[in-house]
Amino acid sequence: MDAEDEKNLQKGLEKTLRILAAAGAEEIGTHHSTGKSLNVKAVGYREFERFVKQESARPLRDLTGQICSAHQMGSCRMGVNPKESVVNQTGETWEVEGLFVADTSVFPTALGVNPMVTVQAIAYCTAQSVLQLLSRKRTTHH
Protein backbone atom coordinates (compact mmCIF):
# COMPACT_ATOMS: atom_id res chain seq x y z
CA MET A 1 0.00 0.00 0.00
CA ASP A 2 1.37 3.38 -0.90
CA ALA A 3 0.69 6.71 0.84
CA GLU A 4 -2.15 7.62 -1.56
CA ASP A 5 -3.90 4.29 -0.87
CA GLU A 6 -3.61 4.88 2.86
CA LYS A 7 -4.99 8.41 2.54
CA ASN A 8 -7.96 7.16 0.49
CA LEU A 9 -8.70 4.38 2.99
CA GLN A 10 -8.58 6.90 5.84
CA LYS A 11 -11.07 9.15 4.01
CA GLY A 12 -13.29 6.12 3.50
CA LEU A 13 -13.12 5.23 7.19
CA GLU A 14 -14.07 8.78 8.16
CA LYS A 15 -17.07 8.76 5.83
CA THR A 16 -18.10 5.28 6.99
CA LEU A 17 -18.07 6.33 10.65
CA ARG A 18 -20.24 9.33 9.80
CA ILE A 19 -22.66 7.24 7.73
CA LEU A 20 -23.01 4.65 10.49
CA ALA A 21 -23.78 7.34 13.06
CA ALA A 22 -26.25 9.10 10.74
CA ALA A 23 -27.99 5.77 10.10
CA GLY A 24 -28.57 5.35 13.82
CA ALA A 25 -25.69 3.16 15.00
CA GLU A 26 -25.34 3.27 18.75
CA GLU A 27 -21.65 2.32 18.75
CA ILE A 28 -19.05 2.94 16.05
CA GLY A 29 -15.39 2.01 15.55
CA THR A 30 -12.94 0.85 12.89
CA HIS A 31 -11.57 -2.47 14.18
CA HIS A 32 -8.08 -0.97 13.96
CA SER A 33 -5.71 -2.94 16.20
CA THR A 34 -5.15 0.14 18.41
CA GLY A 35 -8.53 1.72 17.72
CA LYS A 36 -11.36 2.51 20.06
CA SER A 37 -15.12 2.48 19.85
CA LEU A 38 -17.59 5.21 20.71
CA ASN A 39 -21.14 5.14 22.04
CA VAL A 40 -22.62 7.74 19.69
CA LYS A 41 -25.74 8.29 21.79
CA ALA A 42 -23.71 9.16 24.91
CA VAL A 43 -21.53 11.95 23.48
CA GLY A 44 -21.95 15.44 22.10
CA TYR A 45 -20.99 16.83 18.71
CA ARG A 46 -17.43 17.87 19.65
CA GLU A 47 -16.54 14.50 21.17
CA PHE A 48 -18.03 12.72 18.14
CA GLU A 49 -16.01 14.90 15.74
CA ARG A 50 -12.80 14.36 17.73
CA PHE A 51 -13.36 10.60 17.73
CA VAL A 52 -14.05 10.41 13.98
CA LYS A 53 -10.99 12.51 13.10
CA GLN A 54 -8.70 10.59 15.47
CA GLU A 55 -9.86 7.09 14.50
CA SER A 56 -9.85 7.70 10.76
CA ALA A 57 -6.35 9.23 10.90
CA ARG A 58 -4.69 6.14 12.42
CA PRO A 59 -1.86 4.71 10.26
CA LEU A 60 -2.96 1.81 8.05
CA ARG A 61 0.36 0.69 6.60
CA ASP A 62 2.52 -1.94 8.29
CA LEU A 63 -0.33 -3.36 10.37
CA THR A 64 0.00 -6.84 11.84
CA GLY A 65 -3.29 -7.92 10.24
CA GLN A 66 -4.43 -7.85 6.65
CA ILE A 67 -6.65 -5.18 5.16
CA CYS A 68 -9.23 -7.01 3.10
CA SER A 69 -12.82 -6.87 1.99
CA ALA A 70 -15.53 -9.44 1.59
CA HIS A 71 -18.47 -9.76 -0.72
CA GLN A 72 -21.55 -9.71 1.51
CA MET A 73 -23.87 -12.15 -0.18
CA GLY A 74 -27.48 -13.13 0.28
CA SER A 75 -28.68 -10.42 2.66
CA CYS A 76 -31.29 -9.08 0.17
CA ARG A 77 -32.16 -12.26 -1.69
CA MET A 78 -33.76 -12.20 -5.12
CA GLY A 79 -36.82 -14.36 -5.64
CA VAL A 80 -40.37 -14.71 -6.89
CA ASN A 81 -42.07 -14.58 -3.48
CA PRO A 82 -42.04 -11.48 -1.24
CA LYS A 83 -42.19 -13.69 1.86
CA GLU A 84 -38.91 -15.41 0.94
CA SER A 85 -36.99 -12.63 -0.82
CA VAL A 86 -36.28 -8.90 -0.69
CA VAL A 87 -36.18 -8.15 -4.42
CA ASN A 88 -38.00 -9.56 -7.43
CA GLN A 89 -36.38 -10.94 -10.60
CA THR A 90 -35.69 -7.43 -11.92
CA GLY A 91 -33.85 -6.40 -8.75
CA GLU A 92 -36.65 -4.11 -7.53
CA THR A 93 -37.57 -4.38 -3.87
CA TRP A 94 -40.97 -5.79 -3.01
CA GLU A 95 -41.62 -3.04 -0.45
CA VAL A 96 -40.46 0.15 -2.21
CA GLU A 97 -41.34 0.81 -5.83
CA GLY A 98 -38.38 2.10 -7.83
CA LEU A 99 -35.75 0.93 -5.31
CA PHE A 100 -33.35 -1.53 -6.93
CA VAL A 101 -30.50 -3.61 -5.49
CA ALA A 102 -27.71 -4.64 -7.87
CA ASP A 103 -24.95 -6.32 -5.88
CA THR A 104 -24.04 -9.64 -4.27
CA SER A 105 -26.68 -9.20 -1.59
CA VAL A 106 -29.29 -10.44 -4.10
CA PHE A 107 -27.59 -13.86 -4.28
CA PRO A 108 -29.54 -16.74 -2.72
CA THR A 109 -26.53 -17.57 -0.54
CA ALA A 110 -22.78 -16.97 -0.27
CA LEU A 111 -20.64 -18.49 -3.00
CA GLY A 112 -17.31 -20.21 -2.55
CA VAL A 113 -15.68 -18.31 -5.42
CA ASN A 114 -15.07 -14.71 -6.44
CA PRO A 115 -18.37 -13.58 -7.98
CA MET A 116 -17.00 -10.79 -10.19
CA VAL A 117 -18.59 -11.88 -13.49
CA THR A 118 -21.89 -12.76 -11.80
CA VAL A 119 -21.99 -9.36 -10.10
CA GLN A 120 -21.35 -7.64 -13.42
CA ALA A 121 -24.21 -9.60 -15.01
CA ILE A 122 -26.60 -8.81 -12.15
CA ALA A 123 -25.65 -5.12 -12.25
CA TYR A 124 -26.15 -5.01 -16.02
CA CYS A 125 -29.53 -6.78 -15.91
CA THR A 126 -30.72 -4.64 -13.00
CA ALA A 127 -29.62 -1.49 -14.83
CA GLN A 128 -31.71 -2.61 -17.82
CA SER A 129 -34.70 -3.01 -15.47
CA VAL A 130 -34.16 0.52 -14.15
CA LEU A 131 -33.99 1.87 -17.72
CA GLN A 132 -37.23 0.06 -18.62
CA LEU A 133 -38.98 1.52 -15.56
CA LEU A 134 -37.76 5.03 -16.38
CA SER A 135 -38.81 4.64 -20.01
CA ARG A 136 -42.32 3.54 -18.97
CA LYS A 137 -42.60 6.50 -16.58
CA ARG A 138 -41.41 8.94 -19.23
CA THR A 139 -43.97 7.74 -21.81
CA THR A 140 -46.86 7.84 -19.30
CA HIS A 141 -46.04 11.43 -18.24
CA HIS A 142 -45.95 12.85 -21.78
Residue 51 belongs to what H/E stretch? helix 45-56
Exposure class string for 84-104: b at 16+ Cβ within 10 A, else e: ebbbbeebbbeeeeeebbbbb
Q: Is-catalytic flag, 141?
A: no
Task: Exactly one of 31, 32, 71, 141 is catalytic; name it.
Answer: 71
> What is the rounded distance in angstroms from the CA atom of residue 35 to the CA atom of residue 15?
16
What are the residue numbers of the active site? 71
